[in-house]
Structures are given as structure tokens and as C-alpha cells.
Homo-oligomer: A and B are copies of this chain.
Amino acid sequence: MENRTVDTRERILDAGERLFMAHGYEGTSMRQITSEACVNLAAVNYHFGSKESLMQEVFRRRLDWLNEERMRVLDVLEAEANGEPVKPSAIVDAFFGTLLRMAGDENRGGMTFLRLLGRTLTEPSEFIRAFLAHEYKTVMDRYKEALFKALPEVPKAEIVWRFHFMLGATSYAIAGTDALRLVTDWQIEDDDSTDRLDRLVPRLMSFLLGGLRAQLPQFSDAAVDSK
């Protein structure tokens, strides 16, 4: 009894992950999912209750580990720092590097899940964004505080915005790994497809850190003082 159930659930989750990534939530039908998973149409509703619940479970299966790992790594970093601020580069790597390294781990969803996540962060569906907000809140607050400590000379509002920009650059980078070719016809000469990911991580990391530590913006109008 155990074996068949688990297999069916996992096959549905795998198929859902892949198809939601490829066609989006609204663009994927239950019949596509159950067909790809080689299970009966009613199996999704039996095991998960509804399409929405399936979507949530697809994310929970991966995000639970990811966010626990992010917490764990930051714990270690802060313990090592002995009350001193953690280096910004270490914080960025703990948050985004941990995410990106999932791409190489097929047991944790690999590139498929990363692309699904990247796309979903700009997904219009209300229930998905609300769900992700709840899943992410605690981790976000921890990292936000760590960055405040690490960059005391940068206004907090600025850090919050830059965290936001970093999320965007990362989401897009992982969501569009092959959309890149489509949109721009760009040729990346010194990479072949096998090690592209190994290069992407340091490349993105450099970019994120450069943005995070960039010169503070000059607001052209006098609104800063006049209010």
C-alpha cells in the first residue's frame, strides 16, 4: 500500500513541476499532468484535493529544504562571526548561491524547479503569490536583518530595494536560461551547455554584489529634504 501511493504522488509532483515550468499554472491542465505521470485523471484530486493544492505541494516539496538550508547556513555564518557583521558576499552567497546550487541537484528539482520558481515569482495568480509570501517571510526577514548589520552605512530602504533587484536578476537568470537565445539570439562563445551553470553562479554573484555595493543614487529633485 505504501509503495504504490508514494510512487503515484511523486510521479504527479514530478509531472506537475515540469509542466507548470513549461506552460505555467493556467496553461497546464490536469489531463496533461495525469497523462504525463501515467496515472488516472482522478488521482490528483484523490491525493492532493485540487489543482491549487497540487501546485502548493510542488513548491513545498522543494522550498522547505531550501529555506531551512538558508537558515542553517546563516546560522553558521553568524556563529563564526562572533557578533561581528557577516560579510555581504557571504550573505549573498548563502541566499542566492544556496538557491542556484539546487540546479545541479536533481534530487531537489534541479534546473526544472529553479526555472519554475523564477517564473512563478512574477506569476499573476493571487493564491500562488500569497502562498510564496507566507513560505518566504521568515527567511527574508532574517537575511534583511543580516544585510542591515553588514552594511550599516547604506540606508535600510536602499538595501531592501537592492535585495528586491537581486531577486529579480536571479529569477530572470534562471527562468530564462534558454529564453535568452530566443529573445536575443546572443551567442555566448566560451561556454558550452554542459558547464554553463558552473559559470553562471560566479557571474551572477559578481553582478549581484556589484549592484548591492553600488554608489548610492542621487535623487535629482529636492524631494529628499523638502518633506
Q: Does A76 contact B (CB under 8 A)?
A: no
Q: Does A202 contact B (CB under 8 A)?
A: yes
A202 contacts which of B140, B186, B220 (Cβ < 8 Å)? B220
Residues of B within 8 A of A157 (CB): 188-191
Q: Does A105 contact B (CB under 8 A)?
A: no
Size category of the A interface is 35 or more
A217 contacts which of B122, B179, B206, B214 (Cβ < 8 Å)? B206
| Assembled-state Cα–Cα distance A189/B54 (Å) | 37
Q: Does A176 contact B (CB under 8 A)?
A: yes
Find residues 198-222 in chain A having any chain B CB closer than 8 Å to their own CB.
198-200, 202-221
Q: Does A7 contact B (CB under 8 A)?
A: no
A133 engages B22 (CB within 8 Å)? no
Which of A32-40, A57-65, A162-170 lies at the interface with chain B? A162-170
A122 engages B125 (CB within 8 Å)? no
User: Looking at A184, A191, A218, which has the most chain B CB atoms within 10 Å of its CB?
Assistant: A184
Q: Does A195 contact B (CB under 8 A)?
A: yes
A176 contacts which of B168, B173, B206 (Cβ < 8 Å)? B168
Instruction: Please judge, given known A-B contacts A168-B171, A183-B132, whether A211 and B207 are in contact too, CB under 8 Å.
Output: yes
Residues of B within 8 A of A172 (CB): 121-122, 164-165, 167-169, 171-172
What are 25 A-B interface contacts by the 8 Å CB criterion?
A24-B24, A24-B26, A118-B122, A121-B179, A122-B175, A122-B176, A129-B179, A132-B183, A133-B185, A144-B184, A156-B189, A157-B191, A158-B203, A162-B203, A164-B172, A164-B173, A168-B168, A169-B172, A199-B217, A199-B223, A202-B218, A206-B215, A207-B212, A210-B210, A211-B211
- For the complex with contacts A133-B182, A166-B169, A202-B219, 9 further pairs of A-B residues with Cβ separation under 8 Å are A27-B125, A129-B182, A137-B185, A140-B183, A156-B189, A165-B173, A168-B171, A172-B172, A209-B215
